[in-house]
Structure 1
Amino acid sequence: MNIASVRRPIIPPTPPRAPDDMSFFGRIAVIKQNMIATWGQRAYEEEVIQGRFFLHKSFILNQPDAIRHVLLSNYQNYTRTPAGIRMLRPVLGEGLLLAEGHAWTFQRRTLGPAFTPRATANLVPHMTAVLDETIAKLETRTGEPVDLREIMQRMTLEIAGRTMFSFGMDRHGPTLRNFVMEYGERLGRAHFLDMVLPVSWPTPMDRARARFRKRWVEFVAMLIAERRAVGKNDGAPPRDLFDLMDEARDPETGKGFSDEQLVDEVATMILAGHETTATALFWALYLLALDPDTQEEVASETRGEHLDSMADIDRQKFTRAVIDETMRLYPPAFLIARAARDKDVVAGAEVNKGDILMIAPWLLHRHEKLWDQPNAFIPKRFMSKEPPDRFAYLPFGAGPRVCIGAPFAQAESVLALARLIGAFRVELADTAPVIPFGVVTTQPDHSPMFRITRR
């Protein structure tokens, strides 16, 4: 995809690339700290890289056709790796993101109606109300250093709480954030035994994760009980995601979710819905602070817009391109790892049962054969008449297991960025480069301070 640009685009900082000849144990040591720092230059140039992972082969796939095969054409032959299950199950349980087989089919069919464009449109008022409050609070802090990463986390958590339960998260927000920080900093990092032992063999970290899960499940169940105590008027339409999920029935069997299943579904939606969106918005604000000209284009597009409906959001074409480009450079899920259930052939290579296939959006989105100026921030590439290959751009995954909440997350991200940049000029008050690192999601290595001024 060729990009014509008058101005020299910015190239945001990234971690140094690993030596291509780094040893296996050297990579294992780096993985615990920053997964995206384990890949060398070859991974950004070659379509398929084959290696070994103990008794099995491993593959890094950067070829769209091969990725299509694994995620779409033959997706039933591939399951999550033991390390992936260990990292996610304590916080997501058996919810949609981790379910397999019939359990996944049931959950996907049952949840589908809650995430249609029409259902998302009905939730926009919750988003706009929280944005109004956030902007009002920020107006009292113009000219002083502010931590926009923390503010985005609080804002998206509040949106998640209101769209899920119709109540604010003032009382429960700090506890929920503490759960997220505790898990990400201590338990969400893969250790050597996490990667080599079967899931049925508990590692020392698994015991700590089990203790975490017990407390986490109790907390989510308490939120659900509090929401149910509010009740719902008989015959009234659903007012939030909880109503939609609680009333959801499989269109084939008429079966709904048990209380235990509902806990895992709510946990999945709250965490996936607030943490990934907060991170995407942080990176978008960081990029726009580095690129004032592009920031002014966003502000110009939003000028005079009410921005309180899906129709308003859909008109923000350039702002949407900024979000798309942000998620290209900083994909929320930086790695999709799958283990083969049975033999297969991928990109001409023989795949055996147990082999590991890695599809890394971090690599794919910066691959030198797929993108022009792959490390540069160029939002207008997403306004081209030639969109990127569907399997070269995977911010929400692809195939049957594509993120069910993608329309909601995209609407929320575009709306929030448009409203924030329409209200404030954003600059960095911190000169230290922000380096992305991969631990569950693509996070910044520190939270820089910003300075905002009213437009």
Structure 2
Amino acid sequence: MNIASVRRPIIPPTPPRAPDDLSFFGRLAAIRQNMIATWGQRAYEEGIIEGRFLLRKSFILNQPDAIRHVLLNNYENYIRTPVGIRILRPVLGEGLLLAEGHAWTFQRRTLSPAFTPRAIANLIPHMTAVLDETIAKLDARTNETVDLREVMQRMTLEIAGRTMFSFGMDRHGPTLRNFVMEYGERLGRAYFLDMLLPVSWPTPMDRARARFRARWIEFVAMLIAERRAAGKKDGAPPRDLFDLMDEARDPETGKGFSDEQLVDEVATMILAGHETTATALFWALYLLALDPQTQEEVASETSGEHLDSIADIDRQKFTRAVIDETMRLYPPAFLIARAARDKDNVAGTAVSKGDIIMIAPWLLHRHEKLWDQPNAFIPKRFMSKEPPDRFAYLPFGAGPRVCIGAPFAQAESVLALARLIGAFRVELVDADPVIPCGVVTTQPDHSPMFRVTPR
């Protein structure tokens, strides 16, 4: 894909690439701090890279046809890795993101109606109300420096609470944020024994994660009980995601979710939704602060728009391209790891049972054979008549297990960025480069300070 540009695009900072001969212990130490920093130049140039880690053979896939095979053509042969299960199960339980086989099929069929365009359209008023409040709060802080990462986290958490439960998160937001921070800072990182032992052998961190989960599911159950106490008029249309999920039935069996399953589904939607969207919006604001000309193009597109419907959001073509390019450079889910159930052949490469398959959107989106100027911020590449290969751009995954909430996240991201940049000019106060770190999501190594000025 060739990109013509009349000016030199910005190239945001990234961590140094690892030596291709990085030692086992060096790689192990780097994984805990920043997975992105463990990949060397080969990973950005070659199609399939074979290696070994902890006595297992591993493959990094950067070929779209190989990725299509693993995520679509033979997806049932590839399951979550033991490390992935260890890290995610304490917060997501047996929800859609971790379910396999018949359990996944049931959950996916049952939840799908809650994420249709029509269902999402009914949630837009919740989003716009929170955005109005966020803009008003920022307007009162125009003479101060602002941590926009924290603002985005609070805003998307509030949107998650209102779209899920129809009530604000003023009382519960701090507790939920504390849960997210506690897990991400310590329990959400992979330790040596987590990678070495099978899931059936608890590690010391597993015990700590189990204690966390007991408190976490009690909190989510309390939120559900509070929402149920608010009730719903008989015959009234669903007013939020909880109504849609509570009333959802598998079209084939007629079964709905048990209370235990509903806790895990609600936890999955709140956590996976608000944290990844907050991260994407932070990086978009950071890039636009680095690139004032592109920021003005977003503001110009938004000027005079009401932005209170799906149709309004769909008209923001350039703003959508900025979000798409942001998620190319900073994919919230920087790594998709799978373990082979059985032997297979992937694009001419023999895969054995138990081999680890790694599809890293961070690498794929910056691969030198797949993208022109792969490290540059060029939103207009997503307005080209020649879109990227479906299996070269994976911000939400691909195949049957593509993120069910992708349309919701895209609508929220475009709406929020358009409204925020339409209201304010955003400038960086800090001069220090912000380096992306791959831990659970693609996070900044620190939260820079911004200044927002009303337009």
TM-superposed deviation, 1:54? 3.1
SS in 2 for 1:408: helix
Deviation readout 1:145-177 (Å, 9 max, x if unpaired): 000000000000000000000000000000000
Partners of 2:411 and 2:437 in 1: CA distance: 26
SS in 2 for 1:286: helix
Aligned length: 455
Task: Calculate percent identity across the aligned residue pairs.
Answer: 91
Q: Does 1:390 align with 2:390?
A: yes
Partners of 1:53 and 1:439 in 2: CA distance: 18
- Stretch of structure 1 that moved more, 72-81 or 19-28: 19-28
SS in 1 for 2:58: strand
Partners of 1:384 and 1:194 in 2: CA distance: 44
Deviation readout 1:175-214 (Å, 9 max, x if unpaired): 0000000000010011111112110011111000000000
Deviation readout 1:52-102 (Å, 9 max, x if unpaired): 123321000000000000000000000000000011000000000000000
Partners of 1:413 and 1:56 in 2: CA distance: 39
SS in 2 for 1:427: strand
TM-superposed deviation, 1:24? 1.6
TM-superposed deviation, 1:143? 2.8
1:43 counterpart residue number: 43
Deviation readout 1:329-353 (Å, 9 max, x if unpaired): 0001000000000000112111000
1:34 counterpart residue number: 34
Partners of 2:34 and 2:54 in 1: CA distance: 21
- Stretch of structure 1 that moved more, 89-98 or 51-60: 51-60
SS in 2 for 1:388: coil
Partners of 2:25 and 2:259 in 1: CA distance: 43
SS in 2 for 1:368: coil
Partners of 1:24 and 1:336 in 2: CA distance: 21
TM-superposed deviation, 1:400? 0.2
Deviation readout 1:25-56 (Å, 9 max, x if unpaired): 21011000000000000000000000112332
SS in 2 for 1:207: helix
SS in 1 for 2:327: helix
TM-superposed deviation, 1:401? 0.2
Partners of 1:136 and 1:19 in 2: CA distance: 48
TM-superposed deviation, 1:438? 0.7
Partners of 1:38 and 1:71 in 2: CA distance: 24
TM-superposed deviation, 1:385? 0.3
Partners of 1:56 and 1:438 in 2: CA distance: 22
SS in 2 for 1:201: coil
RMSD, matched Cα: 0.5
Deviation readout 1:249-301 (Å, 9 max, x if unpaired): 00000000000000000000000110000000000000000000000000000
Q: Which runs of 5+ in 2 are unaligned?
A: none
Residues 223-234 of structure 1: matches in 2 within 5 Å? 223-234=223-234
Partners of 1:307 and 1:107 in 2: CA distance: 32
Partners of 1:140 and 1:52 in 2: CA distance: 54
SS in 2 for 1:146: coil
SS in 1 for 2:51: strand
Partners of 2:211 and 2:409 in 1: CA distance: 30
Partners of 1:402 and 1:143 in 2: CA distance: 42
SS in 2 for 1:353: coil
Partners of 1:195 and 1:5 in 2: CA distance: 45
TM-superposed deviation, 1:367? 0.1
Partners of 1:54 and 1:133 in 2: CA distance: 50
Deviation readout 1:344-400 (Å, 9 max, x if unpaired): 011211100000000000000000000000000000000000000000000000000
Residues 71-110 of structure 1: matches in 2 within 5 Å? 71-110=71-110
Runs of 4+ deviating beyond 6 Å: none
SS in 2 for 1:324: helix
Partners of 1:228 and 1:106 in 2: CA distance: 24
Residues 229-308 of structure 1: matches in 2 within 5 Å? 229-308=229-308
SS in 1 for 2:122: helix
SS in 2 for 1:235: coil
TM-superposed deviation, 1:418? 0.1
Deviation readout 1:378-436 (Å, 9 max, x if unpaired): 00000000000000000000000000000000000000000000000000011111000
1:115 counterpart residue number: 115
TM-superposed deviation, 1:11? 0.3
Partners of 2:400 and 2:422 in 1: CA distance: 36
Partners of 2:7 and 2:193 in 1: CA distance: 48
SS in 1 for 2:106: helix
Partners of 2:133 and 2:51 in 1: CA distance: 51
SS in 2 for 1:145: coil
TM-superposed deviation, 1:23? 1.1
Partners of 1:448 and 1:55 in 2: CA distance: 40
SS in 1 for 2:169: coil
Partners of 2:197 and 2:393 in 1: CA distance: 32
SS in 2 for 1:279: helix
TM-superposed deviation, 1:323? 0.1
Partners of 1:52 and 1:452 in 2: CA distance: 48
SS in 1 for 2:337: strand
- Stretch of structure 1 that moved more, 136-145 or 171-180: 136-145
Q: Does 1:57 align with 2:61?
A: no
Partners of 1:349 and 1:57 in 2: CA distance: 12
SS in 1 for 2:198: coil
TM-superposed deviation, 1:2? 0.3
SS in 2 for 1:453: strand
Partners of 2:195 and 2:365 in 1: CA distance: 25
SS in 1 for 2:126: helix
SS in 1 for 2:323: helix
Partners of 1:143 and 1:368 in 2: CA distance: 43
Deviation readout 1:1-27 (Å, 9 max, x if unpaired): 000000100000000000000012210
